[in-house]
Structure 1
Amino acid sequence: MCGLAGMLLPAPAREQAALEEQARRMGDALVHRGPDDSGVWADASAGIALAHRRLSILDLSPLGHQPMTSVDGRYVLAYNGEVYNFAELRAELEALGHGFRGHSDTEVLLAAITQWGFEEALQRSNGMFAIALWDRAERCLWLARDRVGKKPLYYGWAGETLVFGSELKALWQHPAFDNEVDRDALTLLLRLDYIPAPHCIHERCFKLMPGRVLRLDAEAVTAGAAAHRPDQLQQPFWNARERMQQALAAPFTGNDAEAEERLDAVLRDAVALRMVADVPVGVFLSGGTDSSVVAALMQAQSSQPVHSFSIGFTGSDHDEAPLAKSLAQHLGCDHTELYVSGADALAVVPSLPAMFDEPFADASQVPTALVARLARQGVTVALSGDGGDELFFGYTRYQRAMRNWRLLGKVPAPLRRWMASHSHTQGEASRTGGLAALLAESGARGIGDVYRNRISRWRDPVAAVRGAQAAGSFYDLADPLHGAGSPADAMMLADFSTYLPDDLLCKVDRTSMAVSLEARAPLLDWRVAEFAWSLPMAMKQRDGVSKYLLKRVLGRYVPQDMVHRPKRGFGAPVSAWLKGDLRGWADELLDPARLAEEGVFNVEAVAPLWQQFKQGERKWHTHLWNVLMFQAWQAHWRNARADVTRA
Structure 2
Amino acid sequence: MCGITGILQTQHAARSADLTAIGTMTARLRHRGPDADGFWSDRDAGIAFGHRRLAIIDLSDAGRQPMLSGSGRFVITFNGEIYNYKSLRGELEREGKQFVGNSDTEVLLGLIERWGLEKALQRSNGMFALAVWDRRTRILHLARDRMGKKPLYIARTPHALVFASELKAIAAFPDFHQEIDSGAVAEFLTRGWLPEDQCIWRGVFKLPPGTILSVRAADLAVSRDAAALRENARSWWSLSDVARAGRGMLAPADDRQLVSQASQLLEAAVADRMVADVPVGLFLSGGIDSSTVVALMQAQSSRPVRTYTIGFGERAFDETDNAAAVARHLGTSHTELRVTPAEARAVIPELPTVWDEPFADESQIPTLLLSRLARREVTVALSGDGGDECFAGYSRHVLCARLAPLLNSSQPIRTMAASGVALLGRGMRESVVEALHLPGWLQRMTHSDRINRLANLIGSEDVAGMYRRSTQLTELQLTQAHPGGDSDSIPPLDDLLSEFIVRDMLGYLPSDILVKLDRASMATSLEARCPLLDHRVVEFSWSLPNSAKVRHGQGKWLLRQVLGRYLPQHLFERPKQGFDVPIGAWLKGPLRSWASDLLSESRLRNQHLLDAARVQDCWLQHLSGRRDFSRALWAVLMLQSWLDTLVACETSPLAGAMEPAQ
Matching residue's letter, 2:380: V
**How far apart, CA to CA, are the structure 2 residues paired with 1:390 and 1:230?**
30
Query: Is the contact between residue 18 and residue 174 of structure 2 (CA under 8 Å) also seen in structure 1?
Result: no
Given candidates 547, 556, 563, the residue that maps to 1:538 is: 547
Query: Is the contact between residue 453 and residue 470 of structure 2 (CA under 8 Å) also seen in structure 1?
Result: no
Deviations 1:481-508 (A, max 9, x none): 32x3321111111101111111011101
TM-score (norm 2): 0.91
Which runs of structure 2 are paired with 1:105-116 in the superposition (5 Å)? 105-116=104-115
Query: Is the contact between residue 119 and residue 237 of structure 1 (CA under 8 Å) also seen in structure 2?
Result: yes
Q: Does 1:8 align with 2:1?
A: no
**Alignment match, 1:270:** 269
**How far apart, CA to CA, are the structure 1 residues paired with 2:32 and 2:376?**
16
RMSD (Å), alpha carbons = 2.3
**How far apart, CA to CA, are the structure 1 residues paired with 2:568 and 2:398?**
27
Query: Is the contact between residue 70 and residue 76 of structure 1 (CA under 8 Å) also seen in structure 2?
Result: yes
Q: CA deviation at 1:374?
A: 0.4
Where structure 1 has 5 or more consecutive residues not aligned to the other structure, the ranges are: none
Matching residue's letter, 1:465: T
**How far apart, CA to CA, are the structure 1 residues paired with 2:29 and 2:298?**
33
Query: Is the contact between residue 251 and residue 544 of structure 2 (CA under 8 Å) also seen in structure 1?
Result: yes
Matching residue's letter, 2:257: E
Which runs of structure 2 are paired with 1:479-490 in the superposition (5 Å)? 480-482=490-492, 484-490=493-499
Matching residue's letter, 1:634: L
Give secondary structure in 1 for the equivalent of 2:594: helix
Matching residue's letter, 2:55: S
**Alignment match, 1:558:** 567
**Alignment match, 2:602:** 593
Given candidates 455, 464, 467, the residue that maps to 1:438 is: 455
Query: Is the contact between residue 80 and residue 130 of structure 1 (CA under 8 Å) also seen in structure 2?
Result: yes
Matching residue's letter, 2:479: V
Q: Does 1:258 align with 2:274?
A: no
Give secondary structure in 2 for the equivalent of 1:541: coil
**Alignment match, 2:630:** 621
Where structure 2 has 5 or more consecutive residues not aligned to the other structure, the ranges are: 426-445, 655-662
**Alignment match, 1:240:** 239
- Report percent identity of matched pairs: 45
Matching residue's letter, 1:583: R
Which runs of structure 2 are paired with 1:23-34 in the superposition (5 Å)? 23-34=22-33
Deviations 1:218-255 (A, max 9, x none): 12223223475322112111111111111122211162
The answer to which of 208-217 and 75-84 deviates more is 208-217
Q: CA deviation at 1:419?
A: 8.3
Q: Does 1:368 align with 2:375?
A: no
Query: Is the contact between residue 363 and residue 572 of structure 1 (CA under 8 Å) also seen in structure 2?
Result: yes
Query: Is the contact between residue 184 and residue 469 of structure 1 (CA under 8 Å) also seen in structure 2?
Result: yes
Q: CA deviation at 1:281?
A: 0.2
**Alignment match, 2:437:** none
**How far apart, CA to CA, are the structure 2 residues paired with 1:237 and 1:34?**
28
Q: Does 1:584 align with 2:593?
A: yes
Which runs of structure 2 are paired with 1:464-543 in the superposition (5 Å)? 464-466=478-480, 468-474=481-487, 480-482=490-492, 484-543=493-552
Q: CA deviation at 1:631?
A: 1.0
Q: Does 1:457 align with 2:456?
A: no
**How far apart, CA to CA, are the structure 2 residues paired with 1:294 and 1:443?**
37
Q: CA deviation at 1:433?
A: 5.6
Given candidates 569, 572, 584, the residue that maps to 1:575 is: 584
**Alignment match, 2:174:** 175
Q: CA deviation at 1:263?
A: 0.9
Q: CA deviation at 1:176?
A: 1.9
**How far apart, CA to CA, are the structure 1 residues paired with 2:629 and 2:528?**
33
Query: Is the contact between residue 308 and residue 335 of structure 1 (CA under 8 Å) also seen in structure 2?
Result: yes
Give secondary structure in 2 for the equivalent of 1:215: strand
Matching residue's letter, 1:593: S
Matching residue's letter, 2:591: L
Matching residue's letter, 2:556: K
Matching residue's letter, 2:312: F
**How far apart, CA to CA, are the structure 2 residues paired with 1:343 and 1:435?**
33
**How far apart, CA to CA, are the structure 1 residues paired with 2:184 and 2:323?**
38
Query: Is the contact between residue 175 and residue 644 of structure 1 (CA under 8 Å) also seen in structure 2?
Result: no
**Alignment match, 1:612:** 621
**How far apart, CA to CA, are the structure 2 residues paired with 1:116 and 1:409?**
47
Query: Is the contact between residue 158 and residue 174 of structure 1 (CA under 8 Å) also seen in structure 2?
Result: no
Q: CA deviation at 1:38?
A: 0.2
**How far apart, CA to CA, are the structure 2 residues paired with 1:620 and 1:313?**
22
Q: CA deviation at 1:643?
A: 6.2
Give secondary structure in 2 for the equivalent of 1:638: helix
Deviations 1:133-161 (A, max 9, x none): 11111211111110011100101123332
Q: Does 1:397 align with 2:396?
A: yes
**Alignment match, 1:281:** 280
Give secondary structure in 2 for the equivalent of 1:133: strand
Matching residue's letter, 1:250: M
Q: Does 1:208 align with 2:224?
A: no
Q: CA deviation at 1:585?
A: 1.4
**How far apart, CA to CA, are the structure 2 residues paired with 1:74 and 1:343?**
54
Q: CA deviation at 1:83?
A: 0.4
